[in-house]
Chain A
Amino acid sequence: MTTGVAPQQQQSFLDPGVLSRIGNLELLAKIVVEGFINGLHRSPHLGASTDFAEHRPYMPGDDIRRIDWKLFARSDRHYIKEYEADTNTNFNVILDVSPSMRYGADPETKRVSKLTYACYLAACLTYFSSLQRDRVGMATIDTDVVEYVPPSAKHLQLVLHTLDRIEKKARDAKSQPGKSTLLVPLRKLSETVRRRSIVVLISDLYEEPDAILDALAHIRGRGNDVMVLHLLDRHEIEFTFSESTNFIDMETGEKMPVIPEYLRKQYKEVVAEHTRALGKRIGETRADYALFDTTKPLDQALYAYLAARQRFNTAR
């Protein structure tokens, strides 16, 4: 597998603001993945699959060993059994759709929300994995598991459709009070993951590092390869506010008067400490951690994923 730096002229096509004009997630993912990372990686087809896919009528020339004789006994007709192609692994995206993820949308500056960015990211990674013949699935979580698409080689469209609906839901949704946590949904999801998988968690991780690690432990404990993509808006990182205002917590509805000019320095220090702690603690569990600014192009996320995937293959 080879990696390379994206050509400069294609960089602009990975800008979230530009991508937000593309209504079709599949097309978006196709543009991003095929246009930018085309040729970087091609997964080998390994072994034969035993996963039944479908029947089709026998055609002259077909291998008669693949005729389903039991079906012939019942129907007196010849059908060929077809099986899914072999894949390396399952690919699961766990997407945080809590209210805090809806932050950051600004049509004037063409900024996208963290959730939209996360959807783009999930779509691209899923599409990319689908090209690798991986089984793709996804789950959305808030205070609990919201939606779940089990991994399957045929679930690319379903995943993309689910992601598309998340965006639409997010646009119409109103904040529901309640602090989201990772522990409950991740514990439930861990019980559904039966095969060793690549699990990508996309969240803004507004929890204490210890709580996040406790939640990840359930996924990690199943032997899955976990990758945490930490999404934050630039305002959340830089705290660029200037007006003294009342800040409202999007998840709990709690209010707090804030004078940004007085708090900016301390805030940035706290955030930096938080991300540093997460990176360190998650790394210690042999999981991957990457922080993303939603104003940055998607290639960084894809590079991070490819690096993790390479390590995953190597480990196998």
Chain B
Amino acid sequence: MNFLAPAFLAGLVAIAVPVLIHLINRERKVVVEFPSLMFLQKIPYKSVRRQKIRHLLLLILRCLAFALLIAAFARPFFARRRAAIGSTGAREVVILLDRSSSMGYANRWDRARDEAKKVVAGLGSTDRATLVLFAGSAAVASEPMATPATLNAAINAAKLSAEGTRYAPALKLASQIIGASTLPRREVVLISDYQKVGWINHNEIAFPQGTTITPVDLGGGVPSDVAVAQVTTNRDSTGDRDKVNVAARLVNTGKTPATVSATLSVGGRDVQSKSATIPASGAQQVAFTSIVVPGAATKGSVRITADSLAQNDVMHFTVAPDEAVAVLIIGPSEPRENEALFLSRAFAIGDRPSFRVTEKRAAEVTPRDFDGKSLIVLDEVPPPRGESGRRLRAVVDAGAGLMLVPGGERTETWPAEWRSILPASVGSVVDRTADAGGTLSSLDYAHPIFEIFNAPRSGDFSTARFYRYRALTPAAGGVVGARFDDGSPAIVEHPVGAGKVVIWASTIDAYWTNLPLQPVFLPFVHQVGKYVGRYADSRSSFVAGEVLDISRHGELAAPFLDGRSVDSLTELVLEAPSGARERVTATGANHLVTLGEQGFYELRGRETPVGSGRPIAVNVDPAESDLSHLDPQDVVVAVTAVDGQRVPGSDFNVGTPQDQERRQKIWWYLLTAAVLLLVGETVLSNRLSRAAN
């Protein structure tokens, strides 16, 4: 019998209470001063003892009632074991075969497959086996009712992955297979190099009781390996042409120093080779000569002399020209002096990203001016009408950003279709000149525009004064990024189509505010430009097993969209290093792709010739270079089920202890018995008391 709340059993000590009451007859609770005990001491005490014996039945009743009450509170239940588990009969065998990158070390992969085949050879005629291949994720590689022959075929067909090691998905999948099995014997064979970095103890993974977990350890020993752990590509814009400084970090996990040759290749051509000696259990940085940024995305690699683990001897990357954010600033036909100066100068500074600014008068704007623009700023001008207005709306819907600076403009005269997409309704001018101007008192640091200002000494908005601004009332869905000290919103934005529209309450020059004169103006403008212009840093490489979200990396798909939004459903092709092709879209159901292979993927349009697409570099997980070994017993102990633990999907599952206790309800019977005993005790004690009197 088990107890759900065994701590209550400590209450059995309470049984001593009636015992003590009977022993001392409660005389210790009340003390009476009496002139002299002379006469009492003359009375033989045996008469009292005789009375105690008469109440032995009461004592037993009380003790029993207490014991039953305590047992009821302890919530007892009878634990039921899985009856089908036995030492004989058919087996359910799950072979977990590690195919992570580290298994490529020396001959581990061949040995692993041999071990798997041995397990298959040991299967009986009634046994059932499942082959699960795992690295970063796990998948069943065999058919549901696989024969030894098909299992061996699946083992032979298994290939090493470039992904890292993660044991949890494999063990979880195995526990589900085992839990669903009806066979009396269950066994899990885990064939792996037991790489330490792949093991995180997950408490929710547990195999049903009786499951045999057999570790097959192919790791251990003193592995010696040199790996390219990291390649950095830092831009150098100091010269006439943008250059990239490539540096590689080489790591030696061996116990002796290693001398390797590191070669940088760009565009398929070796650029430079360098020899490096890496100390034992140490790292070495290798810097190559700068390369000129090519006109299009170009493949690059750093390769070292091949050793026992070849997969981490190369690291790929791509070098692409920086995609500038195209900005169109539309000002009034008769602007104030230097009206657009502050904004255009702020955009002109910086190269990560760089902003390509075009200034236009409102009267000069044509529909073609909006093409290819990522950010349009309407600086105290109404939205254009006619064809230009429609074109502007189209590019905003397609993903461009629109920044509205109403200034003293009468927005009520704007076309209704534009007023309807404003993130806030624009009210009257608030004049704060009388009180030396307002300030920005409330910044939403969770907002992407202001998040970089959250850190200490990361921009001081408090010195900026706003002498006039428009009273904004946020529309439904409008997100307020900052407020003035009177609570009025300063900047409000909301999405329109695939783009964003943001409205700024004051002027963007020094006419109504001195913000453009503050140091914080430059980063603020850049943040607005990056956020509203939907700029995303391009990545030089990805890690195998990583999921590529094409909608979030518009720079990859942009060359093949012909100016269409990255949210369009234009079909693209992603070709893996192995040649496998996959149809993807920039959005929709196929915009997520798992990059499982090491090397260069190629993303291209359907009409783009092979080899002219955008290369995407994918490398093995650098963590796989850490060949530290894990004791297999740690894994076995961690996943061995404890008594009564629930196993999802198991037909034989008898439920948690709580479930069993709830079903059996033994406490109810114990409580009833205790109450009956107490009633009996009361009756009996009353009778005895009357008899004594």
Q: Which residues of A contact B (CB under 8 A)?
A: 99-101, 103, 114, 175, 204, 206-207, 233, 236, 241, 243-252, 254-259, 261-263, 266-267, 270-271, 274
Whether A247 contacts B47 in the complex (CB less than 8 A), given A258-B27, A261-B692, comes out as no
- Tally B residues with Cβ within 8 Å of A: 26
A249 touches B36 (CB 8 A): yes
Min C-beta distance of A59 to chain B, whole Å: 57
Name which of B24, B30, B40 has the most chain A CB atoms within 10 A of its CB.
B40
Q: List 8 A-B pairs, minimum CB-CB distance, nearest first.
A: A100-B35, A206-B36, A244-B25, A257-B27, A245-B30, A244-B27, A103-B35, A266-B43
The answer to whether A250 touches B36 (Cβ under 8 A) is: yes
Residues on the A chain within 8 Å of B40, using CB: 247, 256, 258, 263, 267
**Known: A259-B25, A266-B47, A270-B43. Contact between A245 and B36, CB under 8 A?**
no
Cβ-defined contact, A250 with B34, below 8 A: yes
Q: Is B28 an interface residue (CB 8 A)?
A: yes
A37-B644 Cα distance, complex, nearest whole Å: 94
* Residue contact B48 to A247, C-beta cutoff 8 Å: no
User: Of all chain B residues, which has the CB nearest A236?
Assistant: B35
Does chain A have a CB within 8 A of B87?
Answer: no
User: Given contacts A103-B35, A251-B36, is CB(A256)–CB(B30) below 8 Å?
Assistant: no
Q: Across the two chains, which residue of chain A brings its CB closest to B38? A: A206
Residue of B nearest to A263 (CB): B43
Q: Are A267's CB and B24's CB within 8 A?
A: no
A241→B32 contact, CB < 8 A? yes
Most buried by B among A236, A244, A274: A244
Cβ A267 vs Cβ B43 within 8 A = yes
On chain A, the residues within 8 Å of B48 by CB distance are 259, 262-263
> Please, what's the 1-or-0 string for B17-41, where 1 marks a CB less than 8 Å from any CB in chain A?
0000000111111111111111111
B693 contacts A by Cβ under 8 Å: yes
> Contact partner of B26 among A244, A267, A271, CB < 8 A?
A244
In the complex, besides A244-B30, A267-B40, 4 extra interface pairs with C-beta distance below 8 angstroms are A243-B27, A244-B25, A250-B36, A256-B37
Report whether B36 and A100 are in contact in the complex, using a CB–CB cutoff of 8 Å. Answer: yes
Roughly how many angstroms separate A101 CA and B36 CA in the complex, as a whole number? 10
B31 contacts A251, C-beta separation under 8 Å: no
With a cutoff of 8 Å between Cβ atoms, the chain B residues found around residue A270 in the complex are 39, 42-43
B47 and A257 contacting across the interface, CB-CB below 8 Å: no
Decide yes or no whether B594 CB sits under 8 A from chain A.
no
Q: With the chains together, A252 CA to B38 CA distance in Å?
A: 11
Are A248 and B35 in touch, CB under 8 angstroms? no
Of all chain B residues, which has the CB nearest A104? B35
Task: Tell me how far the C-beta of B27 lies from the nearest C-beta in chain A, rounded to whole angstroms.
Answer: 4
Complex CA–CA separation, A258 to B34 (angstroms): 11
Closest B residue to A235 by CB, please name it.
B34
Q: How far is the CB of B661 from chain A (nearest CB, A)?
A: 41
Q: Verify A263–B47 contact, CB threshold 8 A.
A: yes
B32 near A206 with CB under 8 A, answer no
Contacts of B26 in A (CB 8 A): 243-244
**What is the chain B residue whose CB lies nearest that of A247?**
B34
Nearest-neighbour CB distance to chain A for B28, whole angstroms, equals: 6
In contact, B34 and A259 (Cβ under 8 angstroms): no
B51 at the A interface (CB under 8 A): yes
Nearest CB in chain A to that of B689: its residue? A261
A261 to B39, CA, bound (A): 15
- Whether A257 and B24, one on each chain, are in contact in the complex, defined by CB atoms closer than 8 angstroms, is yes
Distance between B656 CB and nearest chain A CB, rounded to angstroms? 49
Interface hub of B32, B39, B42, B48 (most chain A Cβ within 10 A)? B39
Report the Cα distance A274→B38, complex, angstroms.
Answer: 11
Inter-chain contact B31/A245, CB cutoff 8 Å: yes
Contact of B39 among A244, A252, A271 (CB under 8 A): A271
A262 and B688 CA atoms in complex are apart in Å by 13
| Chain B residues with CB under 8 A of A263 | 40, 43, 47-48
Chain A residue at smallest Cβ distance from B41: A256
Roughly how many angstroms separate A258 CA and B33 CA in the complex, as a whole number? 12
Query: How far is A236 from B39 in the complex, measured between Cα atoms in Å?
Result: 10
Q: A263-B47, A270-B42 are in contact. Are A246 and B30 (CB under 8 A)?
A: yes
Q: For residue A255, which residues in chain B have a CB less than 8 angstroms away from its CB?
A: 31
Within the complex, which residue of B33, B42, B47 is in contact with A250, where a contact is CB–CB below 8 Å? B33
Whether the Cβ atoms of A249 and B47 lie closer than 8 Å is no
Residues in B with CB closer than 8 Å to A204 are 35-36
Nearest CB on B from A238, distance (A): 13
A248 touches B27 (CB 8 A): no
Q: Which residues of B contact A261 (CB under 8 A)?
A: 692-693
Q: Give the residues in chain A near B33, CB-CB below 8 Å.
A: 103, 175, 247-248, 250
Q: Identify the interface centre among B27, B30, B692: most chain A CB within 10 Å of its CB.
A: B27
Complex Cα gap A60–B42 (Å): 73
Neighbouring B residues of A206 by C-beta, 8 Å: 35-36, 38
Q: Could you write out 26 A-B pairs with CB less than 8 Å apart?
A: A99-B35, A100-B35, A103-B34, A103-B35, A114-B35, A175-B33, A204-B36, A206-B35, A243-B26, A243-B30, A244-B26, A245-B30, A246-B28, A246-B31, A248-B31, A248-B34, A249-B35, A256-B41, A259-B51, A262-B51, A263-B43, A263-B48, A266-B43, A266-B47, A270-B39, A270-B42
Contact status B32-A246, CB under 8 Å: yes
Residue interface mask B39-61, A partner, CB < 8 A = 1: 11111100110010000000000
Question: What's the nearest-Cβ distance from chain B to residue A166, in Å?
Answer: 17
Q: Which of B24, B36, B47 has the most CB of A within 10 A?
A: B36
- Complex Cα distance, B43 from A187, in Å, reads 32
- Shortest Cβ gap from B44 to chain A (Å): 8
Contacts of A207 in B (CB 8 A): 38
Set of chain B residues within 8 Å of A103, measured between Cβ atoms: 33-35
Q: What residue of chain B has the Cβ atom nearest to residue A101's Cβ?
A: B35
Pair A274/B37 contact, Cβ less than 8 Å: no
State whether A251 touches B25 (Cβ < 8 A). no
CA of A257 to CA of B43, assembled, Å? 13
Q: For B24, give the chain A residue with the smallest CB separation.
A: A257
CA of A175 to CA of B31, assembled, Å: 15
B38 to chain A, nearest CB (A): 5
